Amino acid sequence: MQQDNPPTNAEPGPQPETRRNALATLRHRDFRLLWLGQLVSTMGDQMQTVAIGWHIFILTDSSLQVGLVGLSRVIPFLLLSFIGGAMADRVSRKRLILCTQSVLMLTTVSLTAATVTGLVTPGFIYIVSVISGAATAFDGPARQSILPNLVPRNEVSNALTLQSLLRNTAQILGPSVGGVVIGMFGLGWTYGVNVATFLGVITALLLMSVVPAPKGRASRGWDAVLGGFYFVRNEPLILLAILLDFCVTLLRSYRVLLPVFVRDVLVLGPEALGALHSAGAIGALGGAAVLGSIGDMRHKIALMIGAYAIQGVFLIGFGFSGTLPMAFLMLAGFGIGNVVSEVLRNTYVQLRTPDELRGRVTALGAMFTAGGPQLGQVNLGALASLYGPIPAAFLGGTGAVLVCVGFALLPPMRRGMKDERAGIGVL
């Protein structure tokens, strides 16, 4: 298919702002290949997420153990993210993603084999999670920082919106299909399907054009690893946006509550678990579709903070849901707030960061934005073990709202919102 614009592997220069629909960004061949490959692979990942949570819960009968699986994944991720970001700024990002996806596929192969043969234990699942977390520390920075190399600068926001559409579409279909497959065929088949889906993104990467390593002065010494930190400390709104996401997700990472909520509150089985895993993604999918169609928005900082606060409100509502439809509705509302906050935060970070630093800045952000949910699962898992899922949801949601109020009162945030009201573009 002929492209409207020629492909580009270097970051494009400034271009006139347009209100192009996000779906039009798929006309860029390399971005379209990566997007479609990730769609297939992420669906498999979501199936496996549901399967692992259910697997650990039936093996241990402990919500805390479900949260500890997330912790076993996030520890190597946090330890290696800076190195992963530095590599994403020094080598071909396409090749780096290809290597990490191959490693992740092999870990899933081993999990499938152990489950089918009956040799799987909680400890084995923890080991798989550790290896997966280490691979993701290299995969995430490369995958995020490659986007501005594949589309024009004025379409980066559209590309990020499409990434959110991708992820949330996968979160709708993956958990739903995963719950059905677990119920009908067992956990081994679910892991096996995920192995097959890795071929989607690997094939897409092989078909893409060459994406060279980022240009610019090669960093040395500590700057080669910590360059992202040095840059962000002079950009207070970037730093505060990252920290806001971390603090909120530390309190509202509800997925760890779903197995015990489904079994003990709703008194249902894995099919309902899959449906609730999809609920937030359905809301996010609708929110992303609206974001992709309305173009630029005013008062972005205030909207971002409000979107984070809404997540806390809907988490409280989820905790007091006594039926599956009400719980589903609350999590769908949560998803709308999640996607709005995510797209606004990521767009600002990507566009304000030079290409030669983007991998390291993305890695720094990922340590917080990906580490927060994993640590948050441990947090809410512990609260659920001590007090039950309903108090855990209430405490987490209330804390998230209070965090948003506190961040809104910080001087840099207040100045940013004041500048936006005066018509000065900040985000």
Question: Which CA distances in Å does 40 have to 36, 100, 158, 202, 277?
Answer: 7, 16, 20, 10, 18
- Position 17 in a domain: no
- Position 122 in a domain: yes
pLDDT band at 6 (very low <50, low <70, confident <90, very high): very low
CB neighbours of residue 82 within 10 Å? 22
Q: How many domains does the chain have?
A: 1
Contact of 350 with 221, CB cutoff 8 Å: no
Among 184-188, 309-313, 343-347, the minimum mean pLDDT is found in 343-347
Among residues 395, 407, 402, the alpha carbon closest in space to that of 242 is found at: 407
Domain with 306, as residue range(s), is 23-208+222-421
Among residues 399, 281, 366, 345, the alpha carbon closest in space to that of 74 is found at: 366
- Position 2 in a domain: no
Contact of 278 with 176, CB cutoff 8 Å: yes
Question: Three-state SS for 34?
Answer: helix
State pLDDT tens for residues 138-168.
Answer: 998 888 778 878 888 778 777 877 887 787 7
State pLDDT tens for residues 10-28.
Answer: 444 334 444 456 678 888 8
- Position 18 in a domain: no
Q: What is the mean pLDDT of residues 322-328?
A: 90
Q: Which residue has the tokens 């709703």?
A: 266
pTM of the full structure: 0.66
- Determine the Cα–Cα distance for residues 150 and 238; give it in Å rounded to an integer: 23
- Position 238 in a domain: yes
CATH number at residue 375: 1.20.1250.20
Averaged confidence pLDDT in the chain: 81
Among residues 402, 380, 280, the alpha carbon closest in space to that of 337 is found at: 280
Give residue 376's pLDDT.
Answer: 83
Q: Which residue has the tokens 């949570």?
A: 53
- Position 216 in a domain: no
Question: Which CA distances in Å does 62 have to 53, 115, 267, 327?
Answer: 10, 20, 16, 22
- Determine the Cα–Cα distance for residues 83 and 247; give it in Å rounded to an integer: 24
- Position 193 in a domain: yes
State pLDDT tens for residues 73-126.
Answer: 878 887 888 788 878 877 888 889 999 999 999 999 999 999 999 898 999 999
Question: Which CA distances in Å does 284 have to 1, 231, 292?
Answer: 30, 31, 12
Question: Which CA distances in Å does 156 have to 13, 123, 164, 281, 369?
Answer: 12, 41, 12, 22, 19
Residue 265's H or E segment, with its range, is: none
- Determine the Cα–Cα distance for residues 253 and 399; give it in Å rounded to an integer: 12
- Position 329 in a domain: yes
Residues in CB range of 30: below 8 A, 6 or more apart: 7, 150, 208, 209, 211
